[in-house]
Structure 1
């Protein structure tokens, strides 16, 4: 990229040749590139070029490309895992707690869209990616347990397989990364409301 090329959408002001970014800005640009080109196809040199920095200046902030990936995935996973431990997911009936988890997961996706997008593209090609996939499975298991609790309480149809229901729920939630655009016509809070309504109305006992 030359000095006359247009700035990437959403990237910080470039300061060529100087480490003029904080860690969060560098990470955001790296995630942007990982999503555009694929993690494996993106080099540290690519990230440095997008930022207008030398590789040595980039290493001022991060030790390796793997560290960038690890921290990016933590942004997504930490947010999702946190939803399960927040107050709305800990009180009320199982169905109410399930609704809170779904609403919170949509909120994380909206607030951390590039990071969740990257997480959903992980395929387990490295130790960092395999660890992320294991945490995703653990998250799914906890949601499945909540679905099954709601079934035992008679709030969710018992003819559904809990694990399958969880996969379908998050199939819907995760599809949002393909079309949702921050600042667009769809409000994040209304989106969360609509997803919860569609999911629970379809699962609720009659």
Structure 2
């Protein structure tokens, strides 16, 4: 079974309002793909009629928007935290990396869906714009760290920011809730990023 399918199964639970319906929809979007998922698929997965689903959401795009907002709001709340605003550029970057992993662990299906967005709909294009805005702030922090001499000279900030983003986002492919060491994962990832994983050269 793929990681995407497993993420989809994890969000299934009894319905009882808009929140559980959104979780079921996210699971279906991850498992089937957003374009291939119909409202009939969603209502069948939720065990309710389509009209009952429409009582909570105007349609599939509204579900997608709500799910992506949940993931994106978490990222931008993180950027506004004191730890992301105060301290040296590297200290701020480390705070953000730890926070991103914590968000991913707490909101795995929603973050997974965000990372699957390809820009095929208006909502997906909006989400991509938001991701670019977030990444631009990370690139600016990397640039500030280079200028402050905290990162070795010659590092291209935009490339370093992309690599950092890729490392953090790759966690969705292998992380499983309840795995051993999950509580330490955010700090472990930050340590690997900022202290490295290879022994220092003698």
Whether TM exceeds 0.5 here: the answer is: yes
Gaps of 5+ in 2: 1-8, 197-202
| 1:66-113 Cα deviation digits (max 9, x unpaired) | 000000000111111111111111111111001001111111111110
Shift, 1:192, TM fit: 1.1
Tell me whether 59-68 or 149-158 shows the greater mean CA deviation: 149-158
Shift, 1:194, TM fit: 1.5
Instruction: State yes or no: 1:193 paired with 2:183.
Output: no
For 1:51-62, list aligned pairs within 5 A.
51-62=46-57
Matching residue of 2:124: 129
Matching residue of 1:89: 84
Counterpart of 2:154 (choices 128, 135, 159) is 159
| Aligned partners of 1:33 and 1:47 also within 8 Å | yes
Residues of 1 paired with 2:195 and 2:110: CA distance? 29
Counterpart of 1:175 (choices 170, 173, 192) is 170
Shift, 1:9, TM fit: 4.7
Residues of 1 paired with 2:137 and 2:10: CA distance? 37
Matching residue of 1:17: none
The structure-2 alpha-carbon separation of the partners of 1:95 and 1:9, relative to structure 1 and needing over 3 Å to count, comes to closer
| 1:161-183 Cα deviation digits (max 9, x unpaired) | 11111111111111111110111
Residues of 2 paired with 1:201 and 1:67: CA distance? 42
Residues of 2 paired with 1:91 and 1:159: CA distance? 25
SS of residue matched to 2:55: coil
Shift, 1:65, TM fit: 0.3
| 1:149-198 Cα deviation digits (max 9, x unpaired) | 1111111112211111111111111111111011121314x111121112
Please tell me the root mean square deviation across aligned C-alpha atoms, in Å: 1.2
SS of residue matched to 1:156: coil
More helix by share: 2
Counterpart of 2:29 (choices 27, 34, 37) is 34
- Number of matched pairs: 188
For 1:132-147, list aligned pairs within 5 A.
132-147=127-142
